[in-house]
Amino acid sequence: MAVLPPRELDDGCTDTAPKELQELSHSAAVLSIAVSDEYIFAATSNGEISVWSLGSYQLVQTIQAHRHSVLCLFLTSDYKYLFSSACEPIISVWCPKTFVRLFEIYSTYDVGDVFSVVYSAQRDTVYIGTQTASIQWVSLKDAEREGSAESASHPDKRQHRFFDSRAVGGTSTPRRTEDHYALIPRAQALLEIDSGAVEQYAHFGWVFCLRIARGPSVLVDADEDVLVSGGGDGTIKIWRLTDDGTDYGDGDKVNGGIVKLLTLGEDDGQSVLCLEVDGSFLYAGKLDGIVELWDIDTQQKLRVIKAHDDKVNSLKMSFGLLWSASASGSASSHSTVHDTKDAFGSSSEVSQKYQCLSRWKAHGGRVLSSAVAVHGQDQLFITGANDNTVRVWRVNSIPTESVEAVDHLENMMLKSLEDFVSFKTVSSRPDFTEDCHKGATFLGSLFKRLGAQVEMLSTGGLHNPIVFAKFSGKFMPAEKRKRTLFYGHYDVVPADTKAGNWQSDPFKLKGKDGYLYGRGVSDNKGPIIAALYAVSDLLQNRELDSDIIFVIEGEEESGSRGFQDTIRRNKALVGHVDYVLLANSYWLDDEVPCLTYGLRGVLHATVCIDSKLPDLHSGVDGSNMIFEPLSDLTLLLSKLKDRKNHVNIPGFYDGILPVTEEEELRYDDIASILIRRNPANGPIDALKRSLMARWREPNLTIHRYNVSGPDGSLISSHATANVSIRLVPGQEVEEVIKSLRAFLAVEFATFESDNTLTVRIDNKAEPWLGVPGNYIFRTLEEAVMQAWEVPVSSANGAGTVTGEPKKMRKPLYIREGGSIPTIRFLEKEFNAPAAHLPCGQASDAAHLHNERLRYLNLIKSREIFKTVFGKL
Ligand code: BES
Ligand code: MN
């Protein structure tokens, strides 16, 4: 896919989008966003607040927060309270760490929708801006003086002019209650806004936005909070916050109050949709894409910036830039300072204040909200829109060359994976040969950059090279160091996008809902990158004692062509090996971590039937005098197995190892856990039988037929079929090949056909069976338990939200039906035991469209490799 160069927009701005790290989807429009150091909170039009973890983009929780659209979220800077307001007269206060609903606040007045909510820590008071043009407030100190749901003034109990008016005959319209109302958690305390705690007609219009600011310095103390409100009447008002009570005669004193200090912008009736405070500066987002800049101190409008083509719905000052988001779907960044690169001020060189730096299409719909955050080294701008998505943009550029700082490594891992995936390293198609070589070169230089000694091992010119990289342990003499060989493959299977079944470009890493999508991201590029950065972490920490040798080939998906010869030729270079480690399979489901100790072997064969005659016309030439190749082939293949998939090749089921007692227990363990997680996996006996059939029994598959000649009424002169046989530990691939050949030859002979039969073996792999209790598996087991510790009752493993005690869970020991040609070879060649860490989940869709890897699995795999490489 061609990459378009950045386009210059009318105002000299470019349309270059920052890097989109993740797209998080929701079932409804995202109206407001808040971000803490741990979580992204998104409030939506179906009354929910979704919570994602900031580090891994896992959905942690969805809270039914309100009955109707949540309009505003406000998070205090100490992350003590999260306030939410909605299209209902109830404001909620949440703990942003435990998600407990602390307070329910309601007004005794008809407030309509509550557009804005803000909190002053100085006054411990919440201020709300309403559809009825009022500003109201309540102090959280009043929590003791709580109202109750039984109170006649609670909105649920108040007379409603529609629902509660009597119709003819004295009946009233029933109120609609919806199922999801019941999901709203009960608050720990109720707070009623006192009838005196209201500023009626604070604006001549809806109060869209509220902010806490400082100043103006001539009227208030420098460190005193003031309230800023923006209204549908186009004005911005500054309010002093007071503690003075207003006595309403009944002995009830209202705590706090607001006194208007200033009104700005009376000349313009355009709604103020959002506000952002920067010292004494105030930015106001308005209709028609306008951002106004006001100085509170001098009460002057300093600038009018045309930022977008439609409403400016959100403004954020951060990282020295002004970020804005608009109903047009675009987001933009503006510089706020003169760029004084040129000290002598050649005017063309000096960038303007409030110059638009980039304006990009952030969403398909209207952008309604935004937030800024920092995570690790990443500066993030986060947008929410009515296309039901939240998008996370990385707005700083990350250094790709410098690896001095450890902190850079986390986002470097993602960047490296993104680059790695962009190479179309499809080994099975000759037209991708160049891409494969470029991918190998990229990987080689990445290894080198992170400190390895690298060699490209040619596999005889015809096939893709093997990338060999050695990281040397530092703190022991070479002869004492243990040596681990990590095997992986940089080649991938093709990705067919023609049928439109890929949701994103397979060779462009796409982050969505906590997953990374792209061809090869799980099989096998992601795991390789995780292992590489684990070694890099150890080097940075000066904790690498052993030698780690990476052998990453480019022909695995094509049967590891040339691998054995090349490794034998370079045996001296590889040297002695103590352990073989690989990471190229998946968990049994999406939740329970596994270790893989067995793989089936495989042989791929092409069965060919050829006629001495050319392609013929079936009408002109077809008769019982002709031996048709495709008919011969069909008849021959039909002899291979019966209706129940039982294979007729003599000795096909010989050599299968008996089930040991230990193994039987393992199957029991696996089946019971899988069924406990999802009863649909049962019944237990059927599940065990299915697992055993896939892992410890051979099978034969007919994949595909091919014929010569164009479509039409042809008798093709050549017909071939692709057949594969999976074999299991206890069987030898060469033996199986011999008996397949013999069986086909004997059967074909009985046809007495004029045609000829040839059987070609395309590739083959020995089965592998590891030893679960050995040192390398025990080390892996410990590391997996450490990385994936999961709270006892957590059903989805999402994390410890409620502070439950953590319990270590053992990984499941599983086998796999798939094959990796080199594993048994490496074990035998180096006389070293192998172990296999599956990094991906069952739903990764390797070899299929929309292949993916959960970002959390990538992060955890890196942790696991770090522990394992550190110990082995
Ligand atoms: N990662 C797979 C092997 C695999 C598949 C392991 C399923 C666990 C579960 C590997 O990349 C692969 O695709 N292997 C091929 C080998 C063949 C081309 C010789 C296979 O299994 O078909
Ligand atoms: Mn594969």
Tell me the average pLDDT across 628-644.
Answer: 97
Q: How many CA atoms lie within 13 A of 165 on its CB side?
A: 4
CA of 214 to the centre of ligand 2 (A): 60
pLDDT on residue 518:
98
Domains and CATH numbers, the chain: 1-18+213-328+330-363+395-399 (2.130.10.10), 65-157+181-202 (2.130.10.10), 412-590+838-871 (3.40.630.10), 601-657+696-765 (3.30.70.360)
Task: Provide, rounded to the nearest whole percent, the portion of the chain with pLDDT above 70.
Answer: 89
* Ligand 1 lined by 559 (C-beta under 6 Å): yes
pLDDT on residue 399:
52
Could you tell me if 853 and 523 are in contact, meaning their C-beta atoms sit under 8 angstroms apart?
A: no
Could you tell me if 131 and 115 are in contact, meaning their C-beta atoms sit under 8 angstroms apart?
A: yes
Tell me the average pLDDT across 114-125.
Answer: 95
pLDDT in tens, 24-57: 999 999 999 999 999 999 999 999 999 999 989 9
Query: What is the rounded average pLDDT for all residues in the chain?
Result: 90
Tell me how crowded residue 637 is: count the other CB atoms within 10 A of its CB: 18
Question: Which residue has a Cα nearest atom 17 of ligand 1?
Answer: 559
Question: Residue 280: exposed, middle, or buried by beta-carbon count in 10 A (0-12, 13-18, 19+)?
Answer: middle
Could you tell me if 800 and 806 are in contact, meaning their C-beta atoms sit under 8 angstroms apart?
A: yes
Flag whether pLDDT at 638 surpasses 90.
yes
Flag whether pLDDT at 410 surpasses 80.
no
Nearest ligand to the C-alpha atom of residue 837 = 1
pLDDT on residue 12:
76
| This prediction's pTM | 0.87
Among the ranges given (223-232, 269-278, 395-404, 584-593), the one the predictor scored with the smallest mean pLDDT: 395-404
The pick from 524, 606, 820 for probing ligand 1's pocket by mutation, whose C-beta has the most ligand atoms within 8 angstroms, reads 820
pLDDT in tens, 285-322: 999 999 999 999 999 999 999 999 999 999 999 998 99
* Ligand 1 lined by 602 (C-beta under 6 Å): yes
CA of 731 to the centre of ligand 1 (A): 18
Could you tell me if 531 and 550 are in contact, meaning their C-beta atoms sit under 8 angstroms apart?
A: yes
The two tokens of residue 200 are 């009626």
Question: Which residue has a Cα nearest atom 16 of ligand 1?
Answer: 819
pLDDT in tens, 198-257: 999 999 999 999 999 998 888 999 899 999 999 999 999 999 999 765 554 555 555 678
Q: pLDDT category, 398, cuts 50, 70, 90?
A: low
Could you tell me if 858 and 516 are in contact, meaning their C-beta atoms sit under 8 angstroms apart?
A: yes
* Ligand 1 lined by 851 (C-beta under 6 Å): no
The whole-angstrom distance between residue 840's C-alpha and the CA centroid of its chain comes to: 13
Tell me the average pLDDT across 626-646.
Answer: 97
d(CA 573, CA 810): 37
Nearest ligand to the C-alpha atom of residue 494 = 2
* Ligand 1 lined by 386 (C-beta under 6 Å): no
Question: Which residue has a Cα nearest atom 1 of ligand 1?
Answer: 584
Atom of ligand 1 nearest to the CA of 724: 22
pLDDT on residue 402:
47
Atom of ligand 1 nearest to the CA of 596: 8
Q: pLDDT category, 793, cuts 50, 70, 90?
A: very low
Atom of ligand 1 nearest to the CA of 584: 1
pLDDT on residue 147:
53
Nearest to 728 by CA among 663, 661, 819, 833: 819
CA of 491 to the centre of ligand 1 (A): 12
Could you tell me if 740 and 725 are in contact, meaning their C-beta atoms sit under 8 angstroms apart?
A: yes
CA of 864 to the centre of ligand 1 (A): 22
